[in-house]
Chains A and B, each alone.
Chain A
Amino acid sequence: MKFQGAYIQGSEAFLVLEFFSYTLETALNENKIKEENKIKIAKRSLKILETLQCQKKITRDFRPGVLGFTDRGLIKIIDFGKF
């Protein structure tokens, strides 16, 4: 997830992060995913886990609700759970 910037307003600090159109959970709930793309999505999701495991990390929160689709259709993890 890309960090876009940060700003302070009054006593609160805000982080601006990459925009995600929808999560995998939303997409499944709304039947937005074609059957032929499901294995590809599974592969891309596994790639995320592979990358994390290479760094000896586990998310402990890996589910459709934390996988987000960018405007370009890329899948990224949007919450890194409890490392």
Chain B
Amino acid sequence: MFLGFLICDKLVNQDQIEKQRLKYVPPEAFLFLVEDITHDIWSFGCLLIDLFSKDQQIFKLDLTYEELYKLHNNNLFPSIPSYINGLLKDIISKCLERNYQDRIGIEELSENLNILLDTLSKRKIIIYEFRGE
């Protein structure tokens, strides 16, 4: 068995790593093996869900390749939790644009995150609200 990273005292095997990686792969790469510069932007959108989700974090989902294929094929993955709204939801949606040619560019994404950061620090408003467990 191949061994992946040694982080602290945890050993992670290569199959687990690949299983995790596939959940962050955009639909065009997963379904049609199309690789584009926006691949990582999609993954970043997934990462935002992980950061701001309380109960639907992608890294916690245990999905087989077949299950993931079905979800992608039916445009059902990943879903943005309903309690994420406003500008944050807008940013995530633009990262998770299924047509990779319409996906947000890195500069615009950076500008949007700056606006979000400013809004949070200056106005101290809550950008999302978690309801229920």
Q: Which residues of A contact B (CB under 8 A)?
A: 20-26, 28-29, 33, 36, 38-43, 45-46, 49-50, 52-53, 56, 58-65, 68, 78-79, 81
Select the residue from B7, B8, B39, B44 with max chain A CB neighbours within 10 A: B7
CB pair A64–B50 under 8 Å, yes or no, is: yes
A50–B46 touching, CB < 8 Å: no
Classify the interface of chain B: helix, strand, loop or mixed: helix
User: In the complex, given contacts A39-B117, A49-B40, A49-B106, what are 10 additional A-B residue pairs having Cβ atoms less than 8 angstroms apart?
Assistant: A40-B117, A43-B114, A45-B44, A50-B106, A58-B40, A63-B24, A63-B46, A65-B59, A78-B7, A81-B21
Chain A binding surface, main DSSP class: helix
B114 CB contacts on chain A under 8 angstroms: 43
Partner of B29, one of A26, A36, A53, A60: A60
How far does the alpha carbon of A33 sit from the alpha carbon of B109 in the complex, in Å? Answer: 22
- A58 contacts which of B39, B50, B51 (Cβ < 8 Å)? B39
B residues near A (Cβ < 8 Å) are: 5, 7-8, 17, 20-21, 23-25, 29, 35, 37, 39-41, 43-44, 46-48, 50-52, 57-60, 106, 109-110, 113-114, 116-117, 120
A50 engages B47 (CB within 8 Å): no
B5 touches A62 (CB 8 A): no
Contact, CB under 8 Å: B48 / A36: no
Q: Known contacts A46-B113, A65-B20, A79-B5; is A38 also within 8 Å of B25 by CB?
A: no
Q: Is the CB of B52 within 8 A of A49?
A: no
Please determine whether B37 and A61 come into contact, CB atoms closer than 8 angstroms: no
Separation in Å of the B76 CB from the closest CB of chain A? 19
| Complex: A50 Cα to B5 Cα, angstroms | 25
Max count, chain A CB within 10 A of own CB: residue among B50, B110, B116: B50
Within the assembled complex, what's the spacing in Å between the Cα atoms of A46 and B110? 7
Q: A28-B51, A28-B59, A62-B40 are in contact. Are A50 and B110 (CB under 8 A)?
A: yes
